[in-house]
């Protein structure tokens, strides 16, 4: 009997409340295009709940989840169970542990992630499959590979998404300065200008400590800017299988040397040890209190949101830094292969990519839209535009003109390990040796 016939019979029983359709069979039928959306919604009501694992460090986001997302899902017969975690890797590890135990159903229905975490799940065949283009709201995203604007929907840190995650939010690494403390003519636009500023104003800058992803991003931008071939981010789009360790070491050495040379000019370095904040909240506190003059983070609307919440100094302004190397990406929602409530997960993913969800998320949390404005009708595009908290001190065209892609996910761990050994531990080993060691660990 064909899967369509089997699944049609199951759906009839589901509608009658007689059975919970087998999750593996549902997955196979949905990915084959043999389940219409009405049937997905019917099974989602039968499943009754969905477990969303996400970083819970933002009060604004947590309130939005509770007050907006939960009621929206409840109206569709699904209860949202928000599982707030401190590290996305914890959810990934849980999925893999349950998968390796042989359990047909795990605990995690959906994870907010990108980069290495997505690459890890993909490498372990732990993803639900190519669900994203099959959702009704997939129409709000650009999937045409011939359109260069589709790249962030089709590739995540250089790794092909294959439709196994759906974009939920967008971001760009943007720096801010305190205009009460820094004259406009002294605002740096390059890494060399930053060093010159710190030579005159030592201790007035720091960046978030790797392996935090925001710290990793600052390191990657420094590497792009100091690429000895002058090709910026281009070679770092290759995977570790495509770029030999010795070649990667050659490309990252000037950037790493710059960062080591910058250390004596960073916050508290005069006391013998530079201070690297552990996360956004710590850096925001330093910036607000005037301990540093700049704050660099993923935050297209961070200044507008920070001014509204009082977490940024009143004179905060965004600026273009570093020219040509401001990493821009998206983050996503992925469904594990062993999700216990797959239909409810699909319903959640679809709602999260609606204009309604994206506009309210943008307005209430300052998190940029993950859907593509050019794919929306006039009313939808207007709703997203009106929800924006706004930019402070920069124009969108300038941000777009200086955007750069993320480093390939398979290289991120290598670059991170190199920073930790060469910068934090002040290793005397050559960078080529450190990178070779990191490649060996990657292969294990």
Quick one: pLDDT at residue 210? 96
Q: What ranges make up the beta strands (E) of 56-164? A: 79-85, 110-113, 155-156, 159-160
Instruction: Check whether 21 has a pLDDT greater than 60.
Output: no
Report domain extents, the chain: 18-170+330-397, 183-292+408-443
Determine the Cα–Cα distance for residues 89 and 95; give it in Å rounded to an integer: 10
- Pick from 176, 175, 197: nearest CA to 265: 197
pLDDT of 17 higher than 50: no
d(CA 352, CA 365): 14
The answer on pLDDT for 192 being more than 70 is yes
Is the pLDDT reported for residue 241 higher than 90? yes
Residue 19: pLDDT over 80: no
Q: How does residue 13 score in pLDDT terms, banded at 50, 70 and 90?
A: very low
The pLDDT > 70 percentage for the chain reads 95
Alpha helices by DSSP H, listed for 155-278, are: 191-200, 213-225, 245-262
pLDDT of residue 49: 98
- Digit-coded pLDDT (tens) for 374-394: 999 999 999 999 999 999 999
- Give dist(CA 111, CA 165) in Å, integer: 9
Q: What is the pLDDT of residue 351?
A: 98
Distance CA 268, CA 271 (A): 5
Tell me the pTM.
Answer: 0.87
pLDDT, one tens digit per residue, over 149-163 is 999 999 999 999 999
Token digits of residue 195: 């060093």
pLDDT score, position 444: 78
Q: How confident is the model at residue 8 (pLDDT cuts 50, 70, 90)?
A: low
Task: Summarize pLDDT for 267-305 with one digit per residue, the tens.
Answer: 999 988 999 999 999 999 999 999 999 999 999 999 999
Confidence at residue 246, expressed as pLDDT on a 0 to 100 scale: 98
- pLDDT, one tens digit per residue, over 44-67 is 999 999 999 999 989 999 999 999
325-339 confidence digits (pLDDT tens)? 999 999 999 999 999
Residue 146 burial (CB count, 10 A): 5
Mean pLDDT (the chain, rounded) = 93
Residues in CB range of 170: below 8 A, 6 or more apart: 152, 300, 328, 329, 330, 331, 368, 369, 370
> Tokens 């359709």, residue?
21
In this model, does residue 37 exceed pLDDT 90? yes
Question: For the domain bounded by 18-170+330-397, which CATH number is listed?
Answer: 3.40.190.10
Residue of 407, 422, 425 lying closest to 259 (CA atoms): 422
Q: Measure the CA–CA gap between 406 and 152, rounded to whole angstroms.
A: 10
Pairing of strands 110-113, 326-334: antiparallel
Q: Tell me, what's the pLDDT at 18?
A: 33
């Amino acid at each position: 009997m064909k899967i369509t016939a089997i699944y049609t019979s199951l759906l009839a029983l589901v509608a009658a409340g007689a059975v919970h359709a087998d999750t593996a069979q549902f997955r196979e039928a949905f990915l084959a295009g043999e389940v219409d959306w009405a049937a997905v919604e019917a099974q989602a009501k039968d499943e009754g709940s969905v477990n969303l694992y996400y970083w819970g460090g933002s009060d604004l986001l947590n309130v939005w989840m509770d007050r907006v997302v939960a009621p929206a899902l409840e109206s569709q017969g699904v209860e949202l169970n928000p599982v707030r975690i401190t590290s996305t890797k914890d959810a990934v590890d849980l999925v893999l542990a349950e998968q390796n135990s042989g359990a047909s159903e795990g605990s995690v229905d959906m994870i907010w992630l990108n980069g290495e975490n997505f690459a890890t799940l993909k490498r372990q065949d732990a993803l639900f499959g190519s669900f994203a283009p099959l959702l009704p709201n997939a129409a709000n995203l650009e999937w045409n590979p011939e359109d260069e604007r589709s790249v962030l929907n089709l590739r995540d840190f250089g790794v092909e998404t294959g439709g196994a995650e759906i974009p939920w939010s967008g971001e760009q690494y943007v720096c801010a300065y305190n205009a009460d403390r820094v004259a406009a003519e002294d605002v740096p636009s390059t890494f060399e200008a930053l060093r010159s500023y710190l030579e005159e104003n030592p201790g007035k800058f720091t960046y978030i400590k790797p392996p935090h992803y925001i710290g990793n991003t600052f390191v990657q931008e420094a590497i792009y800017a100091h690429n000895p071939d002058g090709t910026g981010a281009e070679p770092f789009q290759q995977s570790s299988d495509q770029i030999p360790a010795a070649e990667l070491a050659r490309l990252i050495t000037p950037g790493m040397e710059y960062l080591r040379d910058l250390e004596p000019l960073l916050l508290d370095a005069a006391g013998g040890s530079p201070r690297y904040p552990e996360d956004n909240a710590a850096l925001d506190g330093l910036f607000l209190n005037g301990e540093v003059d700049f704050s660099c983070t993923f935050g297209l609307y961070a200044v507008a949101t920070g001014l509204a919440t009082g977490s940024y100094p009143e004179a905060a302004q965004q600026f273009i830094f570093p020219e040509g190397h401001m990493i821009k990406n998206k983050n996503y929602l992925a469904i594990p292969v062993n999700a216990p409530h797959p239909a409810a997960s699909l319903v959640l993913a679809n709602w999260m990519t609606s204009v309604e969800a994206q506009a309210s998320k943008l307005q209430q949390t300052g998190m940029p839209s993950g859907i593509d404005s050019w794919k929306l009708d006039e009313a939808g595009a207007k709703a997203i535009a009106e929800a924006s908290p706004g930019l402070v001190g920069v124009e969108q065209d300038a941000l777009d003109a200086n955007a750069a892609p993320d480093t390939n996910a398979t290289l991120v761990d290598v670059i991170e390990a190199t920073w930790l050994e060469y910068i934090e531990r002040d290793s005397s080993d050559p960078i080529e040796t450190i990178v070779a060691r990191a490649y060996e660990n990657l292969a294990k």
